[in-house]
Amino acid sequence: MLRRVCCLVLALTVSCASKEGAQRPDESATSKSPPLTSEPNRLAIDMSKPMPPGLDEAAMDLTADPCGDFYQYACGGWMKTTEIPADKPLNSRGFVAISDRNELMLRAILDDAAAGKLPADAPFAKQLGDYYASCMDEPAHEKALPEVKAMVKKYGSPKNAKELATSLGALHAMAVHPLFDVSSMQDLKDSTAVIAGLDQSGLGLPDRDYYTNTDEKTKQVRDQYQAFVEEMFTLYGEKPFDAKKSAATIMAFETRLAQKQQTKVERRDPQKLYNRLDRAGLVKEAGAFAWDAYFAALGAKDLKAINVSSPTYLKEVAAVAKEGKAAQWKTYLTWVILRSSIPALPKRFQDASFAFSSKALTGAKADRPRWKKCVSYTDGDLGEALGREFVRRHFGADGKERTSAMVAQLQKSFEGNLEALKWMDPATREKALEKVRKMVGNNKIGYPEVWRDYSQVKTRRDSFLANSTAANQFEVKRQLAKIGKPVDRTEWLMSPPMVNAYYEPQKNEIVFPAGILQPPFFNREATDAVNFGSMGMVVGHEITHGFDDEGRQFDADGNLKDWWTEGVAKDFVARAACVKEQFDNYVALEDIKVKGDLTLGENVADLGGLKLAHKAMTEWYAKQAATTAGAYRYDPSQQFFLGFAQSWCTKVRPEMARLRAATDPHAPPYWRVVGPLGNLASFQTAFACKADAKMIRPNRCEVW
């Protein structure tokens, strides 16, 4: 599904150093900065004063030089004493800690729902209770394989191109996505219009590069994947010889698909993703595929307004259909249905899936307990029904009010910063001001004003697969029903308990779910400086996404439109190139460098967000009639940077670090702290760093 959404973090699968096998980034090979000075900075800190509320002294390493390695200074104690739980690929003081707390809250809600104990007026209590109870009923999963085989029998054996298209349409209607996927999207060049989007999909490994890269580690993952596919076909009931043959077929076929897919870096350019063909153009480009049969089976036979993210890939899909290899289609469709059904299958299937993902991708030592999986699945399929009760129980009005005040302060900071940018001319500056004012006016905090209606989701207690399918069908229908109608600007793309935030360029809006408005990102007991460093940076990060290398291509109304004068645009590109080069020189893990082009948007947003949030914090304190600035051992600027860094303390297993380096548009948390701080004069001043200190970059990057 094509989404131009810029998130603070991607699915909690961020990467960083871990003492459990992963190397700390090799600082000697990561920066062109000079070595640490022989006489490190010594802060004049009055240790008799109390720590500022919201900061954790135990998380720090006070023996470290903040001007040499600020991450170690802020997080060294936490890194030394914290372990990664066996069922996790990573641990973090921010995202994972909050997610763990939220998970327990959600479990309590779902336990009540399953037991019929939710309040009488709680919406969709039956759906929540049935879904969660069926997910937790592990003995029932042992009987689920016939349901999957029935689905394979119905959709998995097309004999010709028309039957293939019909099978794909029916499967896509259930959110099972062989070959490609379909959903609704705003027209990139007309943000008032909702059209259909066809996008590349269909792979079993995390990214097309896993099929095309030739390094030994990636080859090893491919071997492990093929062995996993073989095991799954064996568990499904094939004889060993046939299962081995099926696995070879899958690897060859998915490799063929991968070779025609866009890379993650290519997909960061929205211009490359906009190819509006409509129905007639679709037939002209890929007429070998039976589109009429496909859309009829999808339940959208009259659909005409269509964007194709990759016409080249779609032509490959048409070529597959034209070749008519029925045996290959059967094997591939069986595999996609099987792997999509793993959460509902008997334990032996889930154990095999975990063993592969653990060994090849995540490094987790134990599978997650069933209740954690079921909380996650429920949040994914019935997120606003679950989130509604979460908000009622756990989200206070003060969190929304204080975050709103921060957003307003950050807007003023951005506007003031624009006036000071010498490289921006008046015409482009005025357009930027218009965009940020509309963006802040469109902000969403906590939870939706209009909640989603799940009354059409029909659930039962005896089949988790049936409930999951029903929820998926509901969501596909909901998405397709939006096509041709006015854009729903009340819609959220994340559920309220989500520990994340995002900027949506086509709506030009910033969104902060209730789930992230908790310590350490937002702490009601913390000083304002600490909250500006943690949550204020999040706000500034999302605002800056509207002006990163992707976001800047959309205007104030969310249209893909060039609003920059030529000279200013060239200056922006040069400034962004500085950030790319900076992060290209950082080591993510062992022999793997950070991808400066893949992570550019997030790195620009981190740098701009920190600058804006610090400026906003300074202006905030200047307006206060009374201040406690001298009451604590750190001054407000120092609190700000410590609050920021401590929210990113993270450890990750080496397998996950490698996966994130390959696929994550975010840099590892270590570099998300150290990288931007080295560019900020405000950080150098706050900790009295000498000009040749290791943290301070001699050639600083500045975009916003």
pLDDT in tens, 556-613: 999 999 999 999 999 999 999 999 999 999 999 988 999 999 999 999 999 999 999 9
One domain for residues 165 and 53: no
360 lies in some domain: no
One domain for residues 175 and 32: no
pLDDT tens for each residue of 14-41: 332 333 332 344 332 333 333 333 344 5
Q: In the chain, what percentage of residues exceed pLDDT 90? A: 86
One domain for residues 518 and 425: yes
One domain for residues 336 and 427: no
Q: What is the pLDDT of residue 33?
A: 31
The type of residue at 329 is: W
130 lies in some domain: no
The span from the CA of 100 to the CA of 91, in Å, is 10
Q: What is the pLDDT of residue 54?
A: 95
195 lies in some domain: yes
The span from the CA of 461 to the CA of 587, in Å, is 49
- 18: exposed, middle or buried (C-beta count within 10 Å: 0-12, 13-18, 19+)? buried
Q: What is the pLDDT of residue 629?
A: 62
The span from the CA of 400 to the CA of 513, in Å, is 10
pLDDT band at 43 (very low <50, low <70, confident <90, very high): low
Q: What is the pLDDT of residue 627?
A: 64
- Closest by CA position to 56, among listed 676, 627, 530: 530
CB-based contacts of 295: which residues, under 8 Å, 6+ apart? 169, 301, 302, 303
One domain for residues 508 and 624: yes
> Cβ(413)–Cβ(462) under 8 Å?
no
Q: What is the pLDDT of residue 401?
A: 85
Produce one character per residue of 79-103: b if its CB has 16 or more CB atoms within 10 Å, e if not. Answer: beebebeebbbbbbbbbbbbbeebb
pLDDT tens for each residue of 231-243: 999 999 999 999 9
Greatest Cα-to-Cα distance within the chain, rounded to the nearest angstrom: 79
383 lies in some domain: no
pLDDT tens for each residue of 60-110: 999 999 999 999 999 999 999 999 999 999 999 999 999 999 999 999 999
Q: Which of 303, 324, 340 is the last residue of a domain?
A: 340
| pTM exceeds 0.85, yes or no | yes
Produce one character per residue of 421-443: b if its CB has 16 or more CB atoms within 10 Å, e if not. Answer: beebeeebeebbbebbebbbeeb
300: CATH = 1.10.1380.10
Q: What is the pLDDT of residue 324?
A: 86
477 lies in some domain: no
372 lies in some domain: no
35: CATH = 3.40.390.10
490 to 53, 107, 456: CA distances (angstroms): 36, 27, 20
Assigned token pair, 601: 């948007």
One domain for residues 311 and 437: no
The type of residue at 620 is: W
Mean pLDDT taken over the chain? 92
One domain for residues 317 and 442: no
193 lies in some domain: yes
One domain for residues 46 and 164: no
Q: Which active-site residues does the annotation give? A: 542, 606
Eight-class DSSP state of 308: E
> Cβ(671)–Cβ(679) under 8 Å?
no
One domain for residues 315 and 170: yes
Q: What is the pLDDT of residue 321?
A: 93
One domain for residues 336 and 400: no
Q: What is the pLDDT of residue 117?
A: 96
pLDDT band at 626 (very low <50, low <70, confident <90, very high): low
The type of residue at 406 is: M
One domain for residues 88 and 174: no
What total of structural domains would you count in the chain? 2
**Whether residue 434 has pLDDT greater than 80:** yes
**Whether residue 2 has pLDDT greater than 60:** no
> Cβ(571)–Cβ(644) under 8 Å?
no
Q: How far is C-alpha 639 from the geometric centre of its chain's CA atoms?
A: 28
512 lies in some domain: yes
Three-state SS for 397-419 is: HHHHHHHHHHHHHHHHHHHHHHH
Q: What is the pLDDT of residue 21?
A: 30
pLDDT tens for each residue of 446-496: 999 999 999 999 999 999 999 999 999 999 999 999 999 999 999 999 999
- Residue 627 has a CB neighbour count (10 Å cut-off) of 11
Q: Specify the 3-state DSSP secondary structure of 682.
A: helix
Transcribe 138-197 into DSSP letters: HHHHTT-HHHHHHHHHHHS---SHHHHHHHHHHHHTTT--SSEEEEEEEETTEEEEEEEE
Q: Specify the 3-state DSSP secondary structure of 200.
A: strand
- 120: exposed, middle or buried (C-beta count within 10 Å: 0-12, 13-18, 19+)? exposed
The span from the CA of 80 to the CA of 77, in Å, is 5
**Whether residue 520 has pLDDT greater than 60:** yes
Eight-class DSSP state of 553: G
pLDDT tens for each residue of 179-216: 999 999 999 999 999 999 999 999 999 999 999 999 99
Q: Which of 340, 360, 381 is the last residue of a domain?
A: 340
> 636: phi > 0 → left, psi -120 to 50 → alpha, else beta; which?
alpha
One domain for residues 538 and 670: yes
Q: What is the pLDDT of residue 7?
A: 73
**Whether residue 335 has pLDDT greater than 60:** yes
Q: What is the pLDDT of residue 3?
A: 52
pLDDT tens for each residue of 370-408: 999 999 999 999 999 999 999 999 987 777 888 888 888
Structural domain that includes position 574? 6-94+396-446+499-686
- Residue 65 has a CB neighbour count (10 Å cut-off) of 22
